[in-house]
Structure 1
Amino acid sequence: MSGESVKSAERVIEVLKVFAKFQTPLSQKALVDETGYPQSSLVALLKTMTSNGLLHYNSASRLYYPTTVVKHLGSWIDDQSHEAAWITSLMKALNEFSGETVALAVQNDTILMYIRAIESDHLVRYHVREGEQRPLLDSSMGWLLMSRMDPVQIERIYRRSPLAHRQMAGDLDVFQKSMAEIRGQDYCYLANVPPNAGTVSMMLPATFNDSPIVIGVGGFIERIAPRVDELINEIRNQVNLHARSANLPSLRSRAGRT
């Protein structure tokens, strides 16, 4: 291993130690002040850690926060908190009901980042790993998150996304119309995005680093497609049931399937 590689590894560890010390989202400036690293070097390091799913970056607050990928390195990220407990219970209930993969995700700039997942036991299933990332345009969960944005934000993300994903979503006018339709619902269902998969997604009354969290139930399209209405209703019911147990607001069904 080269000297530069060792230095980079040491800096990753040092950044995680700073988070463990403060146990809160931190700004780039705070990390520079704490580590003493040159700003240009730290910016590059933070971008690399974010792109690899180790950190989540909230572009609105400009704060970084470790993901569950590094929870074993930072024992202060408490999976047994009141909020984490009801979400874990919700995911298990949906996994048992559907038999499919259940995942949580947040927006990470133009990317969707999975922060937790329970995979299906089916041989043919939707594979999701904690910390895995994909373009927002490439998933039901990403479309739902984007539908809650204003048209200017949607256009910015659309134009910054890879060409192949823009083509799959349709031209910008078509995509904006899709966003308007989804905005009027409390769910999003996409078939064959990604190919051969179907996912039903809903927002949760919770946040991660002040970013909205979306939950999705996904699997092989031939199993999901006949159950879309059933899954929409069950996700909605289970989210409301578990949210109430945590004294959080219930979802309000918008226009669309009931």
Structure 2
Amino acid sequence: MDRDAVKSAKRAFEILELFDRERRPLALKDILEGLGYPASSGSALLKSLVALGYLDYDRDRRTYFPTMRIAALGAWVPDALFGDGALLGIMERLRAATGETVILATQSDLHAQYVHLLHSSEPLQFSVPPGARRPLAASGLGWCLLSAKSDEEIERLRRRINAEPDAGPPLSREALMSRVNEVRARGYAISKHTVSVGAGVIGAPLPPGAFGRVFAVGVAGPVARLEAKEDLILKELKAGVARLKQTQLERKGLYA
């Protein structure tokens, strides 16, 4: 694999993600300092993105800004993944009822990746951006995603995780399956201090979505707040999963 090509691709997406965070025109200096890029390669990459039509360059102000081509690229994804909006509506209800951050996650190789977030109305101690990843076998939403797989698939993933260079202490089959079977039996997972000390997630697996994609939804926040609201969160989570299942059944009935 061409390492220079991989580095360029990675940096191109990092530039676009920087604009997503800043949401304003950025000068060359802002981008180089924000991402720690050397001036020569950073400038060349920005010129390439302008030539390809992904960034505009304002010569008077000497700033860059994404074009509508960026917006158009992903405009179809929410409809393809979430259909008629039932899932996003369930997430909105969860946030309104609990006042906490609501996360939608799916599997990305050996990780659970946060693909959509609705942030808490409560004061934030822990903030994660869309696209953040958590260990598939060592996080609450990861256990939820694994619960939808066969034991054989889970074992293959466990072996791959243990083979990673930075895997840490080996993960035993017994320990992982204990977590997964707990989710299968209860229908939800509770993780506390698992990834970040003081933070937790109460989550549940969702029925398969479009293209067979499997998602998990969770309510995240400081452990103390989650413990105080645990009964409410579980009630709303179970109701949300039930509504989504019913919506999917009704949709299948329309097209049967």
Smaller-chain TM-score range? 0.5 to 0.7
Q: How does 1:136-155 map to 2 (within 5 A)?
A: 136-155=136-155
Contact 2:82 2:209 in 1 (8 A): no
Name the stretch that deviates more: 85-94 or 126-135: 126-135
* Root mean square deviation, CA, Å: 3.3
Counterpart residue number, 2:188: 187
State the alpha-carbon separation in 1 of the partners of residues 136 and 92 from structure 2: 25
Q: Measure how far apart 1:163 and its partner are.
A: 8.1
State the alpha-carbon separation in 1 of the partners of residues 193 and 159 from structure 2: 22
- CA offsets, 1:77-99, max 9 Å, x none? 35498725111111111001111
- CA offsets, 1:97-133, max 9 Å, x none? 1111101111122111111110113333442322222
Is 2:175 the counterpart of 1:174? yes
State the alpha-carbon separation in 2 of the partners of residues 82 and 181 from structure 1: 27
State the alpha-carbon separation in 2 of the partners of residues 163 and 192 from structure 1: 24
- Indicate how the Cα distance of structure 1 residues 176 and 72 shifts in structure 2: closer, same or farther if over 3 A, else same: same
Counterpart residue number, 1:241: 243
Counterpart residue number, 2:122: 122
Q: 2:224 aligns with which of 203, 210, 222?
A: 222
State the alpha-carbon separation in 2 of the partners of residues 128 and 151 from structure 1: 30
State the alpha-carbon separation in 2 of the partners of residues 73 and 138 from structure 1: 33
Count of aligned pairs:
187
Q: Identical aligned pairs, as a percentage?
A: 26
Q: Measure how far apart 1:243 and its partner are.
A: 4.5
Contact 2:111 2:133 in 1 (8 A): yes
Q: How does 1:49-68 map to 2 (within 5 A)?
A: none
Q: Measure how far apart 1:166 and its partner are.
A: 6.3
Runs of 4+ in structure 1 deviating by more than 4 angstroms, as ranges, are 4-9, 78-82, 162-167
State the alpha-carbon separation in 1 of the partners of residues 152 and 172 from structure 2: 15
Counterpart residue number, 2:46: none
Q: Measure how far apart 1:242 and its partner are.
A: 4.9
Counterpart residue number, 1:211: 213
Highest Rg: 1 or 2? Answer: 2
State the alpha-carbon separation in 2 of the partners of residues 189 and 5 from structure 1: 41
Listed as ranges, the gaps of 5+ residues in structure 1 are 14-69, 250-258
Contact 1:103 1:128 in 2 (8 A): no
State the alpha-carbon separation in 1 of the partners of residues 102 and 118 from structure 2: 5
TM-score after normalising by structure 1: 0.61
Aligned to 1:229, the other structure's residue is in SS state helix
Listed as ranges, the gaps of 5+ residues in structure 2 are 14-69
